[in-house]
Homo-oligomer: A and B are copies of this chain.
Amino acid sequence: MGVVVNLDGDRKKPSLDALTALVRDDLKAVNEQIILRMDSPVHLIPQLASHLIVAGGKRLRPMLTLASAKMCGYEDGRRHVALAACVEFIHTATLLHDDVVDESDLRRGLASANAVFGNKASVLVGDFLFSRSFELMVEDGSLEVLAILSHASSVIAEGEVLQLITTNDTETSETAYLNVIKAKTAQLFAAACRIGAVVADRPKVEEEALENYGMNLGIAFQLIDDVLDFSAEQAKLGKTVGDDFRDGKITLPVILAFRRSDDEERQFWRRTLEDLEQSDGDLQHGIELMIKHNALHDTIERARHYGAIARDSLGIFDDGPVKRSFDDLIDFCIDRAY
């Protein structure tokens, strides 16, 4: 069934409901695949992996694969289910490795796998999930899918390294930042969408349309994530606010605020984000500067821009419940900021 959301006039708060309803049965199958294939005689592996995978998350990326396959009329096979599980494994592996990297204390409101099991286990279980993902792709047998996801994986790693380099550098440009989030976040969104078209054996133009949708949706998604780290909404989601600030991570709200700041304000940013000399009230002061300079507001505007491109990417597809749920997903990703 499709829950149609009226995007004009007095619209409802956008949600994932329409999309979730469309792929519900397939997503259940994906979850079963995930549980089945993350198993290992080495019990710590499923134990640690389930800490992240079973505990939750929205399954946004596998849903993209499932919905893309549906959009392309794929109905007879089960390949999209296994490949959606691959996408989630790659995503979870990067989260596990990110835990090592960021020393983040909370993820999805639970203690991070890292905090519970230690750095070493997070790295190795991430490696296992990553390898297992490739084993699943080999079982699927499509070199095209293998090419898309192996390329996405190396681009993600490049993006993460790029982010590492820009951390603590308040001079980071908006362009450099965009390159980071395209690589570390949007590339997997794009790949997740594209492989949905690949299993349906659709023309390249449809593969590319879905890839572009995923890429631009992913950019918008990450921009809003970066806004949320300075927002009260974040706390409601059970996440700590100010993680990026504490790590000295340079995201678009910071970049815009810094570029619009006067000398004294720039001293503040350099002290807190470059030298990581932070004390009580600094996060709050940073947020106030962002509000003063419209940095959060304009980051959301930038997200809207990419959301608009994502929407137009799908112009070649006929209207219908799947396409409407893709549209709604854009609104959902952006409206999280409010």
- A residues engaging B (CB < 8 A)? 40-42, 44-45, 94, 97, 100-101, 119-121, 123-125, 127-128, 130-132, 134-135, 137-138, 141, 143, 146-147, 150-151, 153-154, 156-158, 160-162, 164-165
Give the complex CA separation of A119 and B161 in angstroms: 12
Residues of B within 8 A of A123 (CB): 97, 100-101, 123
Instruction: Establish whether residues A161 and B130, one from each chain, have CB atoms under 8 Å apart when the complex forms.
Output: no
Dominant secondary structure of chain A at its interface with chain B: helix
Q: Which of B94, B147, B160 contacts A135 (CB 8 A)?
A: B147
A148 CB → nearest B CB, Å:
9
A16 CB → nearest B CB, Å:
29
Instruction: Establish whether residues B154 and A135, one from each chain, have CB atoms under 8 Å apart when the complex forms.
Output: yes
Give the complex CA separation of A104 and B44 in angstroms: 23
A125 CB → nearest B CB, Å:
7
Give the complex CA separation of A135 and B127 in angstroms: 16
Interface centre among A125, A128, A141, A147 (most CB of B within 10 A): A128
Residues of B within 8 A of A150 (CB): 131, 134-135, 137-138
A46 CB → nearest B CB, Å:
11
A244 CB → nearest B CB, Å:
15
Instruction: Establish whether residues B161 and A135, one from each chain, have CB atoms under 8 Å apart when the complex forms.
Output: no
Give the complex CA separation of A42 and B164 in angstroms: 11
Q: Which of B40, B94, B151, B164 contacts A158 (CB 8 A)?
A: B40
Q: Which of B45, B127, B128, B158 contacts A42 (CB 8 A)?
A: B158
Instruction: Establish whether residues B164 and A127, one from each chain, have CB atoms under 8 Å apart when the complex forms.
Output: no
Nearest B residue (CB) for A90: B131
Residues of B within 8 A of A131 (CB): 150-151, 153-154, 156-157
